[in-house]
Structure 1
Amino acid sequence: MKEKPTLNKKGERKMKSVEEQVKNVIHKILEDEKSYKTSLNWAVNYCRHALSLSGEELKVQCLYILNNITRWRHPNAKDVRATLKAFTKR
């Protein structure tokens, strides 16, 4: 029989879901390898580090990422920025 997962607080579970969304958009940034040497030069390292973070540390790292993708042009750039910005304001 499968055990039901134990949940702490609803807020924590929701936060994990939001963090998953943030990490998904960070993966989108990392997928744009052709921009690594131009508009994403510093953001790449911040993104790689962010994938191993959570909670308040991830929020701070997202601020660094946002500041370093201002000149990034990509079809998903607007959505990526909006997701990161919304996460940092929580």
Structure 2
Amino acid sequence: MSSLLSLSGRTSPARQLQWLSPQKGLWVASEHTAEGMAHAGYVELVGTGYVVADGVGRHLGRFATRAAAQRALRTSRLRRRDQRASA
């Protein structure tokens, strides 16, 4: 499990993304938040690569494997949370 360093200096568990595949070649991520479930982003098979966008539609890149694409979304969300916590 991934973890985040909280402002108090303690490590806290990161929210896990839940993946669903509503159709062939598309994987949609969601996560639990204080308000309930939230859209976290998606991975889509386009040609021979996997395109990733976050929950607000920002393009995160194109990857050779679905695992790498999903990892990019997870990493992007952790990085944004870390930036918000340190602001």
Q: TM-score when scaled to structure 1?
A: 0.31
Q: TM-score when scaled to structure 2?
A: 0.31
Task: Tell which structure's C-alpha radius of gyration is larger.
Answer: 1
Larger relative contact order (Cα-Cα within 8 Å, sequence gap ≥ 6):
1
